[in-house]
Each structure stands twice: as C-alpha cells, then as structure tokens.
C-alpha cells in the first residue's frame, strides 16, 4: 500500500459512503463530513404512518449485474424484482381505457418515438428533444386520443426518467447513457437499510456544512460552519445543484473546463407526493394510473402502493414544470389540485386523504434538485469533465460525475469507487 493518507469525504450519500468504505479498506485515515443529521442523502426511507416509503430513490434500475444488488446481497438485504406496472389510463370523460386500447396506444407511441429518431437525424446539433416531438406530432391527427396519450407517455417514460421537460433536454444525448439489463427491483426493508452497514463502520461527522475548500500542493483545508479540517486529499460528492449554486467555494477556483461543464449540465427537478387514505378507494388491481385530461402544465402519474406497503397509500410523481409548480405552492393547495384529477378518474366520492407528505428536493439546500440531466448545450461527456481530479488533491464523485450511469444510485456508487481508486493511486 502507498503511504497512509488523511482523506476527507464530503457527503454521506451513496457515492460518499462507497468512496469512504473503499478508502478505509485500503488502510487510509478517512473522515466523512455530512451536512445533514443522517446518512443516505438522496436515499431516504421514511415512516409515513406505518408505511415505509422512499422519499428519494425507490427502484434499482436493471437488476442484472447491478452493483447495488451486489451490495444489498452482501449486507443480507432482500431484493425483489418488480414486473412492469399494470397501467390504467383515463380519457377526458373519466372513462378507463380498455387494456386493448392501452396496448394499441403504446404501440402507436413506439412508432411515434421511432419518428422522433428519424426527425433527429436531419436536425443540427444542440437542439431540444421537444423540437423532434413537435416535428413528429405534425403527423398525428389533432383530434385523436393519441395526442394526449403521447403527451402523457412522453412525460411518464422520458421526462420523469430525466427529471426535466422535453424543452430542456438534449435531443442528441438524451438516450446515450447506459443501463443494466433485467427488471427493476425494490428493497422491501428500504433503500437506506442497504447503506447502514457501510455508514456504521465509518467515522461520519454529521451537521458539518462544508462552505470552503482551500487547496494547495501541500494540504487541503476544509471549512465548515464551525470547524476547520485538514487533510491530504478530499473526495467531494455534494450534488450538482449545490455546486452550481456556489454553496461550496473553491480556493483557488476550479479549472475553467470543469467549471464550464458544471454549469452546462442540468439539475433535474422531480418530486413525490404521498397520500394516505383510510381504505383503498381505487382499482386495486392496477399499479400505475394516468389521467390523459390533466393539463400539460401540471402533469403527474400515480402509483398504487397498497401492495408494496400493505397500506392504502398513493404515490404521485411529477417533474420539471410540474415540480416547479409544486415548489411555488403550499402542500395543501397541491393536494387539492391533485385530488381534482383523481376524482375525475375515480369519481367524486373519493374522500380526502387522512394524511399527506410532499418531498421538496428542489428546495432542500443539500440537494437543490433531484438528479442531473444533459441540456441541449451540454454533452454527456461533461459528466466525465466534472469527475476529473484537480491537482491530485481534489477528487469528485456523485451521480453527476458518472458518464455511463448518471442520475442513478448505481451510478453514484460506481463514481464513489472510481474516485476512491483515483485518490488512493494518484
Ligand atoms: C425523488 C428522487 C427519486 C429518485 N429515484 C431513483 C430511483 O428510483 N433509482 C435510482 O437509481 N436513482 C434514483 N434517484 C437518484 C438517486 O437518488 C441519486 O442519483 C443518488 O442517491 C445520488 O447519490 P450521491 O451520493 O451522488 O448524492 P447524495 O445522495 O445527494 O449525497 C450527497 C451528500 O452530500 C451532502 N451535502 C450536500 N451539501 C453539503 C455540504 N455543503 N457539506 C457537507 N455535506 C453536504 C448531502 O446532504 C448528501 O448527503 C432519485 C432521486 C430523487 C431525488
């Protein structure tokens, strides 16, 4: 082993815990500084009444060969694959579409996506995904049910996945990242349980909000709101949104190329609203619901969590413009608005929920958004620029630094492992 180093890891999310654990295994002296009073970051399992819900990451995307599955197995946590959700869609009259009608719409939607790809080949670089959508939409009759279905499916399958509106997503790069094969999977004991073993073995200093990182060839000095820490190397895993906001100052400033990449990338907005009722008062044999009549400016999809939690709980997801709308509203007002659309699907007798809970990742000072995405002016390679070490002193991890699997828990984990190896070997 090389000389033992004093290494500080900033952030106790997936990336920070993975990096710190590996560095500790290599025999280095490792301290983790975390702004919150808990580990997990954008992984946060929460007791909502008696139902455990995931406020942040909920699914392991692609279970085959996924390092998060390996980690879960290593810490003896069960992993349950989930089949594709059974979808119910409702039209403007509040009528549920038949399974055959949904299947046809999905086939037409696949053809529509192919049209978008065809349109893309003729477009100059630097365009937004919405431009290909608009060009392909010109072929779809204005009065057909396919129009609102396309809107809803684009929202559900692309915008939610990237936590941004099509208007803000790169047409060239939106589907260029990689994924693990296989079904998605969930962790019945909660995502955070998988991280506990890693966190328990580490020296984590909680409530330490890093404000400044002063570095030279000799030493790195890290200033929090109350202390000064010194180390040989630092692994920085704070989210892209926090770096973009300048909440952590670098002295001297980061190299121009890294700083430019940091500001080109986008920090997506994605929020969840949980509603708990006294009883299940929706079709319980479906997992996912969509109302095709919901206005474009406030899109959402609804997951039935009654089977996963054993409780009459719904999870409403929105992103981009929908998330920004929620940010500007009181939670009660957002719940009221969502209930209008739920009653349009399930009838006016749907009672008010007995409790509700809304995430506010976009307003959380230690996240400032949900996960990164590539806007038209950026390149997927900007993730790699963000990852590059500075002066063999500063090392960068976190989902936004992973060129292959950004915006995911497994991307965060792999980035932590990469940064730990760099910090231990450079
Ligand atoms: C609503 C939502 C749903 C998601 N769904 C999924 C999903 O289903 N599947 C999936 O794979 N991914 C999902 N993701 C993405 C996934 O959660 C993240 O990619 C991943 O958890 C990021 O890990 P990280 O270690 O890079 O960052 P984080 O988990 O954010 O860790 C960074 C840590 O740094 C800390 N920090 C911030 N600022 C400071 C500071 N100044 N000083 C000290 N510490 C600081 C933070 O508190 C945090 O603990 C979702 C994310 C959200 C928000």
CATH number for 237: 3.50.50.60
96 domain-assigned: no
Same domain, 118 and 252: no
181 domain-assigned: no
The domain total for the chain is 2
Same domain, 195 and 252: yes
182 domain-assigned: no
77 domain-assigned: no
Same domain, 263 and 382: yes
Among 56, 191, 401, which residue has the most ligand 1 atoms within 8 Å of its CB, making it the best to mutate?
56
Q: What torsion, rounded to 10 degrees, do the Cα atoms 165, 166, 167, 172 define?
A: 130
Ligand 1 atom closest to the CA of 272, numbered from 1: 1
pLDDT in tens, the chain (426 residues): 568 999 999 999 999 999 999 999 999 999 999 999 999 999 999 999 999 999 999 999 999 999 999 999 999 999 999 999 999 999 999 999 999 999 999 999 999 999 999 999 889 999 999 999 999 999 898 888 999 999 999 999 999 999 999 999 999 998 888 999 999 999 999 999 999 999 999 999 999 999 999 999 999 999 999 999 999 999 999 999 999 999 999 999 999 999 999 999 999 999 999 999 999 999 999 999 999 999 889 999 999 999 999 999 999 999 999 999 999 999 999 999 999 999 999 999 999 999 999 999 999 999 999 999 999 999 999 999 999 999 999 999 999 999 999 999 999 999 999 999 999 987
Same domain, 249 and 385: yes
Ligand 1 center to residue 339 CA distance, Å?
Answer: 29
Domain that holds residue 409: 6-41+190-267+371-425
Same domain, 21 and 140: no
Same domain, 161 and 23: no
The closest of 186, 91, 79 to 148, measured between CA atoms, is 91
Ligand 1 atom closest to the CA of 400, numbered from 1: 26
pLDDT of residue 142: 84
pLDDT of residue 296: 85
DSSP one-letter string for 351-366: PPPSEEEE--GGG-TT
Same domain, 116 and 163: yes
15 domain-assigned: yes
Q: Is 345 helix (H, G, I), strand (E, B) or coil?
A: helix
Residue closest via CA to ligand 1's atom 4 equals 57
28 domain-assigned: yes
Residue closest via CA to ligand 1's atom 49 equals 41
281 domain-assigned: no
308 domain-assigned: no
Same domain, 133 and 202: no
Same domain, 105 and 253: no
* CB 403, CB 380: distance < 8 Å: yes
Q: E-strand spans in 232-371?
A: 233-236, 249-251, 266-267, 270-276, 288-291, 301-304, 313-319, 355-358
Residue list, ligand 1 pocket, CB within 6 Å? 10-16, 33-36, 41-43, 56-59, 61, 208-210, 237-239, 242, 247-248, 270, 272, 359, 361, 366-367, 370-371, 398-399, 407-409, 412
Q: What torsion, rounded to 10 degrees, do the Cα atoms 127, 373, 294, 44 define?
A: 180
Return the DSSP state at 336: H
pLDDT of residue 2: 65
């Amino acid at each position: 082993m090389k000389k033992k180093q004093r290494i500080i890891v900033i952030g106790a999310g997936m990336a920070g815990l993975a990096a710190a654990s590996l560095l500790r295994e290599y025999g280095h002296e490792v301290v983790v500084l975390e702004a919150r009073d808990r580990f997990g970051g954008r992984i946060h399992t929460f007791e909502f009444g008696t139902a455990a819900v995931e406020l942040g990451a909920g699914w392991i995307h692609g279970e085959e060969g996924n390092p998060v599955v390996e980690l879960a197995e290593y810490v003896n946590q069960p992993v349950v694959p989930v089949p594709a959700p059974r979808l119910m869609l409702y039209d403007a009259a509040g009528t549920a579409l038949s399974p055959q009608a949904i299947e046809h719409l999905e086939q037409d939607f696949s053809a529509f996506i192919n049209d978008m790809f065809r349109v893309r080949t003729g477009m100059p670089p630097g365009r937004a995904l919405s431009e290909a959508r608009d060009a392909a939409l010109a072929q779809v009759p204005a009065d057909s049910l396919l129009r609102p279905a396309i809107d809803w499916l684009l929202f559900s399958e692309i915008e939610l996945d990237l936590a941004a509106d099509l208007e803000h997503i790169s047409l060239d790069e939106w589907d260029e990242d990689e994924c693990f094969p296989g079904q998605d999977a969930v962790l019945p004991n909660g995502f955070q349980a998988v991280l506990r073993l890693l966190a328990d073995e580490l020296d984590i200093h909680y409530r330490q909000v890093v404000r400044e990182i002063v570095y030279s060839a000799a030493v790195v000095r890290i200033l929090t709101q109350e202390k000064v820490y010194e180390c040989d190397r630092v692994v920085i895993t704070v989210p892209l949104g926090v770096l973009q906001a300048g909440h952590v100052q670098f002295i001297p400033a980061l190299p121009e190329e890294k700083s430019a990449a940091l500001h080109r990338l986008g920090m997506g907005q994605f929020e969840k609203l949980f509603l708990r009722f006294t009883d299940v008062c929706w079709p319980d044999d479906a997992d996912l619901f969509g109302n095709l009549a919901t206005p474009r400016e406030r899109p959402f999809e609804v997951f039935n969590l009654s089977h996963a939690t054993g409780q009459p709980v719904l999870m409403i997801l929105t992103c981009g413009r929908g998330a920004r709308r929620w940010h500007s509203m009181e939670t009660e007002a957002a719940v009221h608005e969502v209930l209008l659309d739920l009653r349009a699907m399930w009838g006016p007798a749907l009672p008010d929920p007995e409790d509700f809970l809304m995430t506010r990742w976009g307003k959380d000072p230690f996240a400032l958004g949900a996960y990164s995405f590539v806007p038209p002016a950026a390149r997927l390679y900007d993730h790699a620029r963000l990852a590059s070490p500075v002066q063999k002193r500063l090392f960068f991890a976190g989902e936004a630094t992973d060129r292959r699997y950004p915006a995911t828990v497994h991307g965060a984990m792999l980035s932590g492992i990469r940064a730990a190896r760099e910090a231990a070997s450079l």
